[in-house]
Copies of this chain bind each other. A is one copy, B any other.
Amino acid sequence: MSQVRPMRADARRNYERLLAAAAVAFAEYGENASLDDIAKRAGVGSGTLYRHFPTRQALLEAAYVDRIEAITARADELARELPPGEALVEWLNELCVGTIQVRGLKALLGSAVTDGSSVAVTACGTSMKEAAGRLVEAAQREGTLREDLEPIEILRLAHGVATASELANGQGEHIRRYLSLLTEGLRP
């Protein structure tokens, strides 16, 4: 029932070009890069862009799937290398760093963990939740993480930490500090 027919050659070519151009543009100008400009860079008309990617979100997600995959893969890598609690914290740290440094990624990850967000981002949203879920469960089993925390809550809190750190200086220099404030609490 799904579209059995493969993409026509020119369609696929333009799709790839758009993706490449989008990655460059989002990295340079952030999530609000001009879509028409992206189309121009890719050497296609804006109509073509909007046909392949109906929304900015769709393009954003497509341009960053590989990076999302890298992040989720990193979760399992850390799980093998470190004790559960440390693995989780380290992963959250790297996640926050990526969120801030890769312009445009923040918007994507944000809507990925937003309740009731569009269907378009469900794909990367669920894989992030699964990756977080494995680390969270392991840490809870180990006894270094509260039992009542959902994986998605951890992701949201990480997003909050990234936001707070971003306010500090735009770079991610305060991530480790704010992350440890979160894990340790604010009491002496």
Chain A residues within 8 Å of B, Cβ to Cβ = 110, 113-116, 143-147, 149, 153, 156-157, 159-165, 167-170, 178, 181-188
Is A113 a contact of B167 with CB atoms below 8 Å?
A: yes
A146 contacts B186, C-beta separation under 8 Å: yes
| Chain B residues within an 8 Å CB radius of A187 | 144-146, 183-185
List of 3 A-B pairs having minimum Cβ-Cβ separation, nearest first: A185-B185, A160-B160, A160-B164
User: Looking at chain A's contact residues, is the secondary structure mostly helix, strand, loop, or mixed?
Assistant: helix
Q: Is the CB of A115 within 8 A of B145?
A: no
Contact between A115 and B185 (Cβ–Cβ < 8 Å)? no
User: A114 to chain B: closest CB distance in Å?
Assistant: 5
Query: What is the count of identical protomers in the complex?
Result: 2
Taking CB atoms, residues of chain B closer than 8 Å to A115 are: 167-170
Give the residue name and chain of the B residue nearest to A183 (CB). Answer: B186
- Given the complex of chains A and B, what is the CA–CA distance between A184 and B148 in angstroms? 13
Closest to A164 in B: B160
Could you pull out 22 A-B pairs where Cβ atoms are within 8 angstroms?
Answer: A110-B167, A114-B170, A115-B168, A115-B169, A115-B170, A145-B188, A146-B181, A146-B186, A146-B188, A156-B165, A156-B167, A156-B168, A157-B181, A159-B163, A160-B161, A160-B162, A163-B163, A181-B182, A183-B185, A183-B186, A185-B186, A185-B187
**Nearest CB of B to A144, in Å:** 6
What residues of B have a CB within 8 angstroms of the CB of A165 in the complex? 156
A186: chain B residues at CB < 8 Å are 145-146, 149, 182-183, 185
Q: How far is A145 from B165 in the complex, measured between Cα atoms in Å?
A: 20
Determine whether the beta carbon of A114 is less than 8 Å from that of B156: no
Cβ-neighbour of A167 out of B145, B159, B164, B183 (below 8 A): B159
A188 with B110: CB separation less than 8 A: no
